[in-house]
Amino acid sequence: MLINGYEVVVGLEVHAELNTKTKIYCSCRNSFGLEVNTQVCPICLGMPGTLPTLNEKVVEYAIKMGHALNCSINRICKQDRKNYFYPDLPKSYQISQADIPLCHDGYLDVIMDNGDVKRIGVERIHIEEDAGKLLHSDKFEGSLVDFNRCGVPLIEIVSRPDLRSAEEAKAYLETIRSILKYIDISDCKMQEGSIRCDVNVSVHKPGEPFGTRCEMKNVNSFSTVVKGIEFEARRQISELEAGRTIVQETRRWDDQLGESVAMRSKEDAQDYRYFPEPDLLTIVVPEEKVAELKATLPELPNAKIMRYVNDYGIGRYDASMIVDVIEKSEFFEKCIAAGCKSPKILSNWVLGEISKFMNEGTAIEDTKLTPEKMSELVGLIADGKISTAAGKTVFDIIIKEDRDILSIVEEKGLAQVSDESALEAIADEVLAANEKSVADYLGGKTNALGYLVGQCMKLSKGKANPGAMKEIILKKISG
Ligand SMILES: [Zn+2]
């Protein structure tokens, strides 16, 4: 996509908090939202003389993500100190990985809204520890520090500058989030900061070398990523158009202003003085372990979407909506396994009525609806035995009560009339009473047919099979 003849180039650094039980270098609990400064110990508080011990699960989780993003795994790698001072970092250094990341040189195929698949390079995935959190409030003077987050394990996923628009960046992030959820290594709660993002943006004319990039730090929602990229691209283009040059700098997104604000330029960028972490051993992962972790990966979201499209004939967009929420896709597949006749009709119900319940916070397991019942209901609709509207009446009952579907259909008189002679009688009555509409239709006003079918449906109190009804009317008028 070009803006005023410029191409936008975006690279993303995604930080995802891992959902291990304990922190990366100590046995403190890794849990969000607990009383401030209660999940701490001498190690994560950086007391002198303490020694870190690497949580093996962190390495396993990162390798799983590496496999999911088609990376090569560095079975032998190290951890490094990144030195800087900030009040939320009691050690005054963060343990990260500098030149040898755990995973490198992978890619992610992203399905765009128009169905195109775009391959985005993944430069590296490394492990590191999170810092604490500064609290600011009008209730107290100055700032307070909560160290609970110190030592929470993170992976940083660094993309190559392969993204060409804000939309592509959003689709990439959504796919990353979906994978993290599927392999169950992160809570992915944006509002709790479990996924955060640094965004690199530059612009250039196609065919020319990449422009100077600016980095936006700590963008914490997908919509802000979109706004940030769009703003930054326009800002850089107008600078260039005005004959100025882009200064390499770090910028901060200000949500209230709706723009990015310069934080520091390259000249005063920090030198982190990376060096190998002397308190930790070299990481050595046996080859069998790497293979074993690969074997534990579930079917990933993209593969699932394509399977729904190819095997079940569902539209790609609907498929991705179902796949995006694991519970929806699990229920969908259980219905298929229970012999559901029409995956297409089923997908409409999963995205419609069932999603409504789930969005209100009710899990399907907590209702009376079973995959078997749902399949039976879809079957009745698919066979034309009841209408979709009647299906809704049945659905509203079987989600609350454990009842037999056919007896509900009987009791409420919901069975669709497909019997030809009954439908003919209805058609005769409607045609006799609507001669003008018949004449209209014969005169070329084709939408008069819809009106006539509607009248038949009304007369049958919604029980006539609309498809069969339409055919009978057509036959009668045209014959
Ligand atoms: Zn601790």
Mean pLDDT of 221-237: 93
pTM: 0.86
> What does each C-alpha distance from 104 to 162, 280, 359, 417, 434 come to in angstroms?
16, 21, 37, 63, 73
State pLDDT tens for residues 286-322. 999 999 999 999 999 999 999 999 999 999 999 999 9
> What does each C-alpha distance from 287 to 106, 261, 296, 297 come to in angstroms?
18, 46, 15, 16
Q: Which of 110-119, 148-157, 398-407 has the largest mean confidence?
A: 148-157
Q: Report the C-alpha gap between 110 and 172 in whole angstroms.
A: 6
Residue 479: both structure tokens together = 């014959």
For residue 274, the CA-to-ligand 1 centroid distance in Å is 23
∠ at Cα 214 (208, 218), nearest 5°? 140
For residue 52, the CA-to-ligand 1 centroid distance in Å is 9
For residue 162, the CA-to-ligand 1 centroid distance in Å is 38
Residue 6: both structure tokens together = 């410029």
Q: What is the mean pLDDT of the chain?
A: 93
Q: Is the pLDDT of residue 4 over 90?
A: no
For residue 148, the CA-to-ligand 1 centroid distance in Å is 8
Residue 461: both structure tokens together = 């109190």
Mean pLDDT of 402-409: 93
For residue 32, the CA-to-ligand 1 centroid distance in Å is 14
For residue 96, the CA-to-ligand 1 centroid distance in Å is 17
Q: Identify the CA nearest to 116 among candidates 223, 12, 1, 232.
A: 1
Q: Report the C-alpha gap between 390 and 460 in whole angstroms.
A: 13
For residue 46, the CA-to-ligand 1 centroid distance in Å is 9
State pLDDT tens for residues 57-89. 999 999 999 999 999 999 999 999 999 999 999
Report pLDDT for 267. 67
CATH fold of 420-478 reads Arc Repressor Mutant, subunit A (1.10.10)
DSSP sequence for 214-259: EEEEEE-SHHHHHHHHHHHHHHHHHHHHTT--PPPEEEEEETTTTE
Report pLDDT for 463. 81
For residue 180, the CA-to-ligand 1 centroid distance in Å is 25
Of the candidate ranges 107-116, 222-231, 258-267, 335-344, the one whose mean pLDDT is the lowest: 258-267
For residue 18, the CA-to-ligand 1 centroid distance in Å is 16
Mean pLDDT of 399-405: 93
Q: Phi/psi at 431 (nearest 5 deg)?
A: -65, -40
**Residues contacting 110, CB < 8 A, separation 6+:** 117, 118, 119, 120, 168, 171, 172, 175
For residue 27, the CA-to-ligand 1 centroid distance in Å is 6
Q: Identify the CA nearest to 228 among candidates 152, 322, 165, 146.
A: 165
For residue 85, the CA-to-ligand 1 centroid distance in Å is 20
For residue 194, the CA-to-ligand 1 centroid distance in Å is 19
Residue 74: both structure tokens together = 């560095």
Q: Is the pLDDT of residue 263 over 90?
A: no
β-strand partners of 106: 122
Q: Report the C-alpha gap between 452 and 456 in whole angstroms.
A: 6
For residue 12, the CA-to-ligand 1 centroid distance in Å is 30
Pinpoint the residues of the chain covered by CATH 1.10.10.410. 420-478
Q: Identify the CA nearest to 211 among candidates 226, 222, 200, 221.
A: 200
The alpha carbon dihedral of 357, 358, 360, 365 has a sign of positive
For residue 90, the CA-to-ligand 1 centroid distance in Å is 12
State pLDDT tens for residues 166-223. 999 999 999 999 999 999 999 988 888 899 999 999 999 999 999 999 999 878 888 8
Say how far residue 9 (Cα) sits from the centre of its chain.
23
- First CA to last CA distance, the chain: 55
Query: If you search the block for the tokens 């169905």, which residue do you land on?
Result: 115
For residue 29, the CA-to-ligand 1 centroid distance in Å is 8
For residue 296, the CA-to-ligand 1 centroid distance in Å is 29
* 3-state class (DSSP) for residue 166: helix
Q: Report the C-alpha gap between 7 and 309 in whole angstroms.
A: 32
Confidence tier at 422 by pLDDT (50, 70, 90): confident
CB-based contact 9:229 (threshold 8 Å): no
48-58: b (≥16 Cβ within 10 Å) or e: eeeebebbebb
Report pLDDT for 387. 86
State pLDDT tens for residues 433-465. 999 999 999 888 888 999 999 999 888 877 888
For residue 42, the CA-to-ligand 1 centroid distance in Å is 6
Residues near ligand 1 ion, CB 5 Å cutoff? 26, 28, 41, 43-44
For residue 58, the CA-to-ligand 1 centroid distance in Å is 15
Q: Report the C-alpha gap between 26 and 62 in whole angstroms.
A: 18
For residue 466, the CA-to-ligand 1 centroid distance in Å is 67
Report pLDDT for 293. 98
For residue 181, the CA-to-ligand 1 centroid distance in Å is 26
Report pLDDT for 310. 94
For residue 310, the CA-to-ligand 1 centroid distance in Å is 49
For residue 133, the CA-to-ligand 1 centroid distance in Å is 15
For residue 472, the CA-to-ligand 1 centroid distance in Å is 76
Q: Is the pLDDT of residue 406 over 80?
A: yes
CB-based contact 221:246 (threshold 8 Å): no
